[in-house]
Structure 1
Amino acid sequence: MTQRNIVAGIDVGTTKVCTIIAEVNNNGTIEVIGVGTSPSTGLKKGMVVDIDDTVNSIEDSVVKAERMAGVELESVFVGIAGSHISSTNRHGVVAVTGENKEITRNDIDRVIDATKIISMPPERQIIHVIPREFIVDGCKDIKYPLGMSGVRLEAEAHIVTGSVTSIQNLVKSVKEVNIGVEGIVLQPLAASKAVLSESEKDLGVLLVDMGGGTTDIAIFKEGSIWYTSILPVGGDHVTNDIAVGMRTPRDIAEKIKIKHGCAKADLIGQNEKINILDTSGKQQRTISRKVLCNIIEPRIDEIFSLVKEDIEKAGYKGLVPAGAVVTGGGSLLEGVSKLASEKLDMPVRIGAPENIDSLLDCVEGSIYDLDEEYSSFSGENGAIFSTGVGLGYYGAENMTDKTTAKTNRDEEQIVEDLFDKMRKWFKNIL
Structure 2
Amino acid sequence: MADRRTYRTLGLLDIGTSKTVAAVIVAEMVAGTPKPALRLAGLGMQRSKGVKAGVLTDLDEAESVVRGVISQAERSAGTSVGGFTLSVSAGRISSVHCTARTEVEHGSVGDDDLARLVSAGESYAERNGRTLLHLNHLGYEVDGATGVRDPLGLSARRISAGLHAVTADEAPLRNLLVLIDRCYAVCDGLVAAPYASALAATTPEERQFGVTCIDFGAGTTSIALFADGRFAGTDVIPVGSQHITYDIAKALQTPLAEAERIKTLYGTLLNAQSDEHESFSYPITGEEDDESYETSKARLTDIIRPRVQQIMGLVRERLALNAASRFVGDKVVLTGGASQLIGLPEFVASEFGCSVRIGRPTDLPGLSASLSGPQLATLSGLAMVAARGEGELNMARGRKTVTQGYLGRVGTWLKRGF
TM-score (norm 1): 0.81
Q: Any idea what SS the aligned residue of 1:286 has?
A: strand
Post-superposition Cα deviations, 1:53-106, rounded to whole Å, max 9, x if no partner, equal: 1112212222222233333122111111136222210111223335xx343333
Question: Partners in 2 of 1:154 and 1:95 — Cα distance?
Answer: 9
- Letter matched to residue 181 of structure 2: K
The match for 1:17 is 20
- Letter matched to residue 40 of structure 1: S
- Equivalent pair of 2:225/2:325 in contact (CA under 8 Å): no
Among the aligned pairs, what percent are the same residue? 27
User: Which of 378, 381, 385 is residue 376 of structure 2 equivalent to?
Assistant: 385
Q: Any idea what SS the aligned residue of 2:131 has?
A: strand
Question: Partners in 1 of 2:125 and 2:183 — Cα distance?
Answer: 35
**Where in structure 2 are the equivalents of 1:277-356 lying within 5 Å?**
277-280=283-286, 282-314=290-322, 319-356=327-364
Q: Any idea what SS the aligned residue of 1:262 has?
A: coil
Q: 1:124 to 1:343 in 2, by over 3 A?
A: same
Q: Any idea what SS the aligned residue of 1:35 has?
A: strand
- Letter matched to residue 329 of structure 2: P
Question: Partners in 2 of 1:199 and 1:122 — Cα distance?
Answer: 36
- Equivalent pair of 2:91/2:172 in contact (CA under 8 Å): no
Q: Does 1:48 align with 2:51?
A: no
User: Which of 231, 234, 243 is residue 237 of structure 1 equivalent to?
Assistant: 243
* Consecutive unaligned residues in structure 2, runs of 5 or more: 1-5, 392-418
The match for 1:184 is 190
The match for 1:215 is 221
Deviation at 1:278, TM superposition (A): 2.2
Post-superposition Cα deviations, 1:188-218, rounded to whole Å, max 9, x if no partner, equal: 1111211111111111111111111111112
Deviation at 1:316, TM superposition (A): 5.7
- Equivalent pair of 2:218/2:338 in contact (CA under 8 Å): yes
- Letter matched to residue 259 of structure 1: L
Question: Partners in 1 of 2:52 and 2:9 — Cα distance?
Answer: 31
- Letter matched to residue 170 of structure 2: V
Q: 1:325 to 1:361 in 2, by over 3 A?
A: closer
Deviation at 1:286, TM superposition (A): 3.3
- Equivalent pair of 2:12/2:84 in contact (CA under 8 Å): yes
- Equivalent pair of 2:125/2:165 in contact (CA under 8 Å): no
- Equivalent pair of 1:211/1:329 in contact (CA under 8 Å): yes
Q: 1:258 to 1:71 in 2, by over 3 A?
A: farther
Deviation at 1:175, TM superposition (A): 1.9
Question: Partners in 1 of 2:181 and 2:339 — Cα distance?
Answer: 31
Deviation at 1:394, TM superposition (A): 0.9
Q: 1:202 to 1:362 in 2, by over 3 A?
A: closer
Deviation at 1:263, TM superposition (A): 2.6
Q: Does 1:79 align with 2:87?
A: yes
The match for 1:126 is 132
The match for 2:413 is none
- Equivalent pair of 1:16/1:38 in contact (CA under 8 Å): yes
- Equivalent pair of 2:208/2:228 in contact (CA under 8 Å): yes
Please provide the CA RMSD for this pair: 2.4
Deviation at 1:245, TM superposition (A): 1.1
Deviation at 1:244, TM superposition (A): 0.6
Deviation at 1:306, TM superposition (A): 1.6
The match for 2:102 is 94
Q: 1:83 to 1:270 in 2, by over 3 A?
A: farther
The match for 2:206 is 200
- Equivalent pair of 1:82/1:214 in contact (CA under 8 Å): no
- Equivalent pair of 2:39/2:365 in contact (CA under 8 Å): no
- Equivalent pair of 1:19/1:65 in contact (CA under 8 Å): yes
Question: Partners in 1 of 2:261 and 2:75 — Cα distance?
Answer: 27
Q: Does 1:116 align with 2:122?
A: yes
Deviation at 1:143, TM superposition (A): 3.0
- Equivalent pair of 1:45/1:83 in contact (CA under 8 Å): no
Higher relative contact order (CA 8 A, sep 6+): 1
- Letter matched to residue 358 of structure 2: I
User: Which of 48, 60, 69 is residue 77 of structure 2 equivalent to?
Assistant: 69
TM-score (norm 2): 0.84
* Consecutive unaligned residues in structure 1, runs of 5 or more: 364-380, 401-430
> Higher mean Cα deviation, 300-309 or 314-323?
314-323
